[in-house]
Amino acid sequence: MSQVLVVNCGSSSLKFAIMDGSGAAPLLEGIADRLGSEHSNITFKFNGQKVEQPLHEHDHKGAVTAIKQWIDDHKDLNIQLVGIGHRVVHGGETFSQSVLIDEAVLQGIDDCSKFAPLHNPAHVKGINEAQALFGDLPHVAVFDTAFHQTMEADQYLYPIPMRLYREHHFRKYGFHGTSYRYISAKLASLNENFGSQNTLIAHLGNGASVCAVRAGKSVDTSMGITPLEGLMMGTRSGSLDPSLLSFISDAEGISMKQALDILNKESGLKGVSEISNDCRTIETAQAAGDDRAELALNMFASKAAKHLASVATNLNSVDHLVFTGGIGENSPVLRDKICERLKMMGVRLDQNLNQTCPRGEISQISSDTSSANIWVIPTNEELLIAQDTLSLIDKH
């Protein structure tokens, strides 16, 4: 069966998986970590085994080389790669769908680096290295922002001077688009009327956002020009008064960029709880009576509910509410807290179904009296990247 190597390059890491697009478990998955450091290593997971080894070259090239070497060393597995699928965080206004990568596409990804200075340059680097080592295979870019290119101007524009949009393309782009597209497709397979229905999706993880979907298309989302806007997250503050940046800068005697780093890396669940950015750790502390943990969880739930209600104003009704992402899929505590705050919309959880829904499976957890179907649907962005890659290769 034809297989795809799915690659997700970060500034100091590279996640990868080999998938066939059928929905079966990956043949291989892993991560190269601490890239740029002499302590860089790569972990391979396959056949129930986990193997970790140091990288000989401590960069993205070293990571891709190690992956190719692993494939060459395991000919018994009969891996038949037909293409490479690359996750790309920011496609700006240039890319509204997944594309085969050529020089023009690569330049377009690089041009969007001004909006994603940590991610897009790393994507370009990863694509270049992968093309050098897998040059005989087609490469495909799948963009986090693409799904949201269906938003109308009154949703994606900021109320700032229009020249800033015309000259610099400053606007809301939104993220987690590949996850939202996967969830929409999965929901469509479960509901024959999905094409005429309205859905709210909450992708809750260390990064968190919500999206309003009408007839399978994004009409509004909470993240903005960067992933900092919107919900409170693991280490990100989410939306707040922009003047706070100036106050923090003056009070702490630091630059605006350093103040922005505080909002991106030291805020959210981590900043409020002063314990961790990991929801599981905070829930354990809350259960033990920690007041700050309780406050952090309540704030997270309030912000999530508030943004769900906000994007819902673009829908005539809400037929489905979906929870996905690491927190959305695995935290009955936060699902309950969020739905409790959406009672004015008629949303009602079944407490037993919420507490007992099996991990990793699609579950409906709404009560009989709920105005909307409430779902827990595990996302699988890697699978959609593999499927997009196979689809574009077939068309080509």
User: Residue 350 and residue 134: Cα distance in Å, rounded?
Assistant: 50
Q: Tokens for 51, please give them.
A: 């193997």
Instruction: Give the active site residues.
Output: 144
* Chain centre distance of CA 195: 24
For the chain, the structural domain boundaries read 3-143, 193-381
Check residue 119 and give its pLDDT. 93
Strand, coil or helix: what is 127? helix
Query: Residue 78's pLDDT is what?
Result: 86
**pLDDT for residue 228:** 97
> Mind listing the pLDDT tens digit for each residue in 158-173?
999 999 999 999 999 9
Q: At residue 1, does pLDDT exceed 80? A: no
Using DSSP, state whether 130 is helix, strand or coil: helix
Model confidence at 65: pLDDT above 90: yes
Q: What is the pLDDT of residues 193-242, one digit of tens each?
A: 998 999 999 999 999 999 999 999 999 999 999 999 999 999 999 999 99
CATH number of 3-143: 3.30.420.40
Give residue-wise pLDDT tens across range 240-256.
999 999 999 999 999 99
Residue 38 burial class via C-beta count within 10 angstroms: exposed 0-12, middle 13-18, buried 19 and up: exposed
- What are 275-312's pLDDT values in tens digits? 999 999 999 999 999 999 999 999 999 999 999 999 99
Do the beta carbons of residue 215 and residue 195 sit within 8 Å?
yes
pLDDT tens-digit profile of 124-160? 999 999 999 998 999 999 999 999 999 999 999 999 9
pTM of the model: 0.96
**Where do the DSSP E strands lie in the chain?**
3-9, 14-19, 28-33, 41-46, 49-54, 81-88, 99-100, 139-143, 198-204, 208-214, 217-221, 320-324, 363-364, 373-376
pLDDT averaged over every residue in the chain: 97
- What pLDDT is recorded for position 196? 92
**Tens of pLDDT along 5-32?**
999 999 899 999 999 988 889 999 999 9
| pLDDT above 70 coverage of the chain, percent | 100
Binding residues for ATP, by number, are 15, 203-207, 278-280, 326-330
Question: How far does the chain reach from its first CA to its final CA, in angstroms?
Answer: 19
CA distances from 188 to 181, 300, 338 (A): 10, 29, 24
> Which residues are annotated as part of the binding site for Mg(2+)?
8, 381
Please tell me if the domain spanning 3-143 has the same topology as the one spanning 193-381: yes
Say yes or no to pLDDT of 123 above 90. yes
Binding site for substrate, by residue number, is: 87
pLDDT of 23 reads 86
Q: CATH number for 193-381: choose from 3.40.50.300, 3.40.50.2300, 3.40.50.720, 3.30.420.40.
A: 3.30.420.40
Output the known binding site.
8, 15, 87, 203-207, 278-280, 326-330, 381
